[in-house]
Structure 1
Amino acid sequence: MFETLSLLTLQQYWWFIVALLGGLFVFLMFVQGGQTLLNTLAKTEEEKNVIIASLGRKWELGFTSLVMFGGALFAAFPLLYAVSFGGAYYVWMAILFCFIIQAVSYEYRKKPNNFLGQKTYEWFLYINGSVGIILIGIALATFYTGANFIKNDMNLSSWTNHTYGLEAVLNPFNVAFGLTIFFLARSQASLYFINNINETTIVQRARQQLKMDALLFLTFFLVVVVTLCMISGVSYTETGFEIVNHKFLTNLIETPIILISLLAGAFLVLYAFYSTLFNASTKGIWFSGVGTVLTVVSLLSLLGFNQTTIYPSLSDIGSSLTIENSSGSHYTLTAMSYVSLMVPFVLGYIYLVWKSMDKEKITSEEVESDHHHY
């Protein structure tokens, strides 16, 4: 089946898969968002244990989705993976460190006689949910704004400055992109707690917190979308690369399905906020989740399609990366495409596990009766 597809079709298929996994990961970042709200929503040790227990049941899903996103990127577009992860070394190592301390914190926060103490692990969780998420957003934003690298005819790449990715934090668009994801994660965390926790005081505080975080998310999201429509992008043809004014706006106009998907995703997220704040709904997390996936897939689809580079080079436009010059071979993509048919089964398994864990909303009594809680 996949053998009959052209190499370009396989490349486009796998960029969509990468975008979909990215969307799922951004949705599951509500765990990180919830970690930053621990001391805001919890005023007692019992309430803190309830929130940690609620997040603790889902944190591994987010970690797994991050690994799947990175793995798909590595297997389908190895040159992009090598240039970004190898060149922007300091940024990606900082992100990796933030996720390592998250795993350690859930494991050891309540362990007796841990030498760092409970508060230290809670600070680790906050760092993972704030610094880690904002840095991921900044790193992803460089796919639009570009990075300082060059590559030769042998596809060997090198970074042209000694900050190795840290310079990305000086770009206002990159920072706005990171803050958009950060406040989205916090907003979705409140939606998740409202749906998952059966403690009136925590739910009330979550509704109040949602007002502030949703407003900040919408502000930064508008900044990102408007900026994307205004900035230039790098297009490519058989003859080479060129800078095109309003490239991403052009992609939206010339590819209506991306525009419709983006508008539908934004509408669902807005509806989740509205129904939760004004109709006292507890189901907002599901509308927001679907909306988030659609929105992220749409934004990443502005790259990779319509002859748009997926990683512009600021040092040498001819070194810019596309889905065509950074992908694996036809054989590799074909073999991986058969493996991708297992994705629906994995998603189905996640759904069943999630449903099983959330049959009943979490209460303080349930958490305190479990001597092995997080």
Structure 2
Amino acid sequence: MAPPIDYETLRVIWWALMGVLLIGFALTDGFDLGVASLLPFVAKTDEERRMVINSVGATWEGNQVWFILGGGAIFAAWPFVYAVSFSGFYLAMFLVLAALILRPVGFKYRSKKPDPAWRSRWDWALFVGGFVPALVFGVAVGNVLAGVPFRLDGDLRSFYEGTLLGLFHHFSLLAGLLSVAMLVLHGSAWLAIKIERGAVHDRAKSFGQIAAVLAILLFAAGGVMVATMNMGFRTEGAVDPMGPSNPHLSTLVAARGAWLANYGAHPWMLLAPVLGFLGPVMALIGIRSKREVLAFGGSSFAAIGIISTVGLSMFPFILPSSIDPGSSLTVWNASSSHLTLFIMLLVTLVFLPIVLLYTAWVYKVLFGRVTTQDVRTNPDYY
């Protein structure tokens, strides 16, 4: 029996779910990365650094669920995308994973010895574990927008013709810096909510204001570059959204400025870039007016708007090829089978609400600010 939802609709649903998972990762583990990136700068003494670490110490591990879900969903729903991206970006992925490994090690080993030098080294390890993934994730998105140097042969075998250093070009670096600014803003807004008012709280807010301004400027600069540079891809001829997953059955070409075409065809999509600009402005107002909840809401809206802008601009493309546009992967030519997507959707409808409810319950239980008294009197704190 055929699934009750048609193939085209399932493909769009899974494209949207991928966006939800990426946004979920940015909203939860994103402030962990931002806090780690701020650690050496907002906290000067060991006591202050313990406060900063413990603001995320109870939740960072659970927040990584979204990262795992995202990787698993790409593998199951978009096998072509998984194969090409994880093989082509292998060294970049290894760099991210090596940095992420420093996080659990840093959390577990930092307080094993009272030696200041020992703790300082692990604090910098935590910084690397936050800053490097934030940068590389943005660089990866910048490369996807510009096009990735891969091609598919007649047997659909992928060949990646780029290098690790080649990933770090001017546009991808701008995207990487935007990612860092976005997550540092999110991390500073989290610290403003989670840390007792005092020196650390004030330093976090100062860095948050800088990050908010940089996020606005970098997002605007990225938009100008997308509009004016030789960047963008489009489909030619008829497209069969119900057709088999075979990139060779599509006619895909590079087209300057094509990433802006969706906004003309569907004006409602402009909500995404508007939110990408409005979020940092809200966060800036919240920080300056001492309304921490508004600041955190603004940083969350910034992440939602910026990530949604990328996805909506590229639709239906997921992974375009810069050297062979005909090999580009789209929502229509790179998905799993009709039945696979339907079964996965049923599983998601059962388990995703459980993840959301459990996450909400955890944050409710752990609600409250970390104080100096907490780290002084509680030996179980990091």
Which secondary structure does the structure 2 equivalent of 1:158 belong to?
strand
Other-structure match for 1:103: 104
Alignment of 1:103-182 (within 5 A): 103-112=104-113, 117-161=118-162, 163=163, 165-169=164-168, 171-182=169-180
Distance 1:369 1:347, change over 3 A: same
Give the conservation status (yes or no) of the 8 Å contact 1:233–1:248: yes
Of residues 289-298 and 242-251 in structure 1, the stretch that sits farther from structure 2 once superposed is 289-298
Give the conservation status (yes or no) of the 8 Å contact 1:95–1:132: yes
Which secondary structure does the structure 2 equivalent of 1:310 belong to?
strand
**Whole-angstrom distance in 2 between the partners of 1:340 and 1:261:** 25
For residue 290 of structure 2, the aligned residue among 280, 293, 297 is 280
Alignment of 1:315-330 (within 5 A): 315-330=323-338
Of residues 248-257 and 116-125 in structure 1, the stretch that sits farther from structure 2 once superposed is 116-125
- State the 1:302 CA deviation: 2.0
TM-score w.r.t. length of structure 1: 0.91
Give the conservation status (yes or no) of the 8 Å contact 1:23–1:294: no
**Whole-angstrom distance in 2 between the partners of 1:89 and 1:351:** 34
**Whole-angstrom distance in 1 between the partners of 2:12 and 2:186:** 30
Considering only aligned residues, what root-mean-square deviation do their CA atoms show, in Å?
A: 2.1
Give the conservation status (yes or no) of the 8 Å contact 1:22–1:297: no
Of residues 151-160 and 263-272 in structure 1, the stretch that sits farther from structure 2 once superposed is 263-272
- State the 1:44 CA deviation: 1.5
Give the conservation status (yes or no) of the 8 Å contact 1:142–1:311: no
- State the 1:296 CA deviation: 1.3
For residue 254 of structure 1, the aligned residue among 265, 282, 290 is 265
- State the 1:113 CA deviation: 8.4
- State the 1:23 CA deviation: 1.3
The letter of the residue matching 1:172 is: H
**Whole-angstrom distance in 1 between the partners of 2:208 and 2:161:** 42
Other-structure match for 2:245: none
The letter of the residue matching 2:283 is: A
- State the 1:265 CA deviation: 4.4
The letter of the residue matching 1:3 is: P
The letter of the residue matching 2:372 is: S
Other-structure match for 1:48: 49
The letter of the residue matching 2:33 is: Q
**Whole-angstrom distance in 1 between the partners of 2:211 and 2:299:** 14
Output one character per residue of 1:235-256: Cα deviation in whole Å (capped at 9) or x when no partner: 1244511222211111122122
TM-score w.r.t. length of structure 2: 0.90
Q: Note if 1:366 corresponds to 2:374.
A: yes
- Structure 1 gaps of 5+ residues are none
**Whole-angstrom distance in 2 between the partners of 1:219 and 1:246:** 20
Give the conservation status (yes or no) of the 8 Å contact 1:2–1:337: no
**Whole-angstrom distance in 2 between the partners of 1:209 and 1:148:** 36
Q: Note if 1:244 corresponds to 2:245.
A: no
Other-structure match for 1:26: 26
Give the conservation status (yes or no) of the 8 Å contact 1:146–1:312: yes
Give the conservation status (yes or no) of the 8 Å contact 1:240–1:318: yes
For residue 352 of structure 1, the aligned residue among 355, 361, 375 is 361
**Whole-angstrom distance in 1 between the partners of 2:9 and 2:154:** 24
Which secondary structure does the structure 2 equivalent of 1:198 belong to?
coil
Of residues 188-197 and 56-65 in structure 1, the stretch that sits farther from structure 2 once superposed is 56-65
**Whole-angstrom distance in 2 between the partners of 1:233 and 1:160:** 20
Q: Note if 1:183 corresponds to 2:153.
A: no
Of residues 138-147 and 238-247 in structure 1, the stretch that sits farther from structure 2 once superposed is 238-247
- State the 1:266 CA deviation: 3.0
- State the 1:112 CA deviation: 3.7
Output one character per residue of 1:80-99: Cα deviation in whole Å (capped at 9) or x when no partner: 01101111211111111111
Give the conservation status (yes or no) of the 8 Å contact 1:36–1:130: yes
Give the conservation status (yes or no) of the 8 Å contact 2:21–2:69: yes
Output one character per residue of 1:55-100: Cα deviation in whole Å (capped at 9) or x when no partner: 2123224322111111111111011011011112111111111111
Distance 1:192 1:103, change over 3 A: same
**Whole-angstrom distance in 2 between the partners of 1:266 and 1:73:** 28
- State the 1:193 CA deviation: 0.8
Give the conservation status (yes or no) of the 8 Å contact 1:16–1:297: no
Give the conservation status (yes or no) of the 8 Å contact 2:110–2:118: yes
Other-structure match for 1:303: 314
Which secondary structure does the structure 1 equivalent of 2:191 belong to?
helix
Which secondary structure does the structure 2 equivalent of 1:3 belong to?
coil
For residue 337 of structure 1, the aligned residue among 319, 342, 345 is 345
Give the conservation status (yes or no) of the 8 Å contact 1:87–1:159: yes
Distance 1:134 1:291, change over 3 A: closer
**Whole-angstrom distance in 1 between the partners of 2:278 and 2:374:** 36
Other-structure match for 2:215: 217
Which secondary structure does the structure 1 equivalent of 2:16 belong to?
helix
Give the conservation status (yes or no) of the 8 Å contact 2:136–2:176: yes
The letter of the residue matching 1:214 is: A
Other-structure match for 1:233: 232
Distance 1:215 1:291, change over 3 A: closer
Output one character per residue of 1:292-339: Cα deviation in whole Å (capped at 9) or x when no partner: 22431232122233xxx2212122222111122211111110011112
- State the 1:194 CA deviation: 0.9
Q: Note if 1:78 corresponds to 2:85.
A: no
